[in-house]
């Protein structure tokens, strides 16, 4: 063990003594942020891309888990409870899903952006955290910007969600012929991902596939 490795291990040991690891979901002390029993309770989905038919702006989507139980709890705790220790296991899940669905040859990975005001109050964009285990050279958050403040989708009835997001996103570069992979924490109505895909296609993206940690689609 070299000096640097020793220093890292020692500082991790100190951190673990001060802040012992704990499952962010069930609270079990000494366990990782997404512990094994919580994983067992999670409804994992078959790793596959569901293809959508044009004129849907999304080419298809893949989801790691069903939006229920521990999965829904993880999404909520990461985003609203700021349990950022969940980001690492959730990002690893996204990376595994991308590999299993053979989506690793996309041109660009774009996390769904949040408005800068929301980013300031939350301190992070959960979609960016979830893209953090994907190849850094392909992850380009700056390609898509949230240009309009919108009410949280979850606060609106289903029939008002589509209209809420019209013109909320803008693509910042020419993407002629590119295959873009959108990353987000959760897919419910799909309105957010479709609006992002529309903005990317307006700048020439040929295919836009989405990967999410959790899906509420039936």
- Angle among Cα 101, 61, 136 to the nearest 5 degrees reads 65
- In whole angstroms, what is the distance from residue 62 CA to residue 96 CA? 12
Binding span for Zn ion by CB under 5 A among 37-45, 98-106, 153-161, 191-199: 37-45
Give 25 or 171: the residue with its C-beta nearer to Zn ion: 25
Shortest Å, Cβ 23 to Zn ion: 3
94 forms part of the interface with Zn ion (CB under 5 A): no
| Residue choice 2, 11, 32, 35 for contact with Zn ion (CB under 5 A) | 35
Give 19 or 218: the residue with its C-beta nearer to Zn ion: 19
23 forms part of the interface with Zn ion (CB under 5 A): yes
Give 26 or 173: the residue with its C-beta nearer to Zn ion: 26
| Residue choice 4, 16, 30, 38 for contact with Zn ion (CB under 5 A) | 38
| Residue choice 8, 21, 22, 26 for contact with Zn ion (CB under 5 A) | 26
- In whole angstroms, what is the distance from residue 199 CA to residue 85 CA? 32
Instruction: Specify the pairing of strand 179-187 against strand 207-215.
Output: parallel
Give 77 or 140: the residue with its C-beta nearer to Zn ion: 77
Take residue 98 and report the two structure tokens written for it. Answer: 């991308």
Give 35 or 175: the residue with its C-beta nearer to Zn ion: 35
Footprint of Zn ion (CB under 5 A): 23, 25-26, 35, 38
């Amino acid at each position: 063990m070299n000096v640097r490795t020793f220093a890292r291990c020692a500082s991790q040991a100190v951190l673990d003594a001060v802040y012992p690891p704990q499952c962010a979901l069930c609270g079990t002390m000494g366990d990782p942020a997404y512990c094994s029993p919580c994983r067992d309770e999670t409804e994992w989905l078959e790793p596959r891309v569901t293809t959508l038919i044009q004129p849907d702006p999304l080419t298809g989507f893949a989801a790691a888990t069903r939006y229920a139980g521990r999965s829904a709890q993880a999404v909520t705790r990461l985003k609203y409870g700021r349990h950022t220790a969940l980001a690492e296991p959730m990002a690893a899940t996204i990376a595994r899903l991308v590999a299993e669905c053979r989506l690793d040859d996309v041109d660009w990975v774009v996390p769904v952006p949040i408005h800068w005001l929301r980013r300031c109050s939350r301190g992070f964009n959960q979609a960016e955290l979830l893209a953090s285990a994907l190849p850094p050279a392909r992850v380009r958050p700056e390609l898509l910007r949230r240009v309009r403040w919108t009410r949280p989708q979850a606060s609106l009835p289903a029939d008002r969600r589509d209209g809420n997001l019209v013109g909320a996103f803008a693509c910042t570069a020419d993407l002629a012929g590119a295959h873009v992979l959108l990353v987000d924490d959760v897919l419910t109505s799909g309105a957010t991902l479709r609006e992002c895909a529309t903005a990317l296609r307006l700048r020439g993206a040929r295919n836009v596939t989405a990967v999410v940690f959790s899906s509420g689609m039936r």
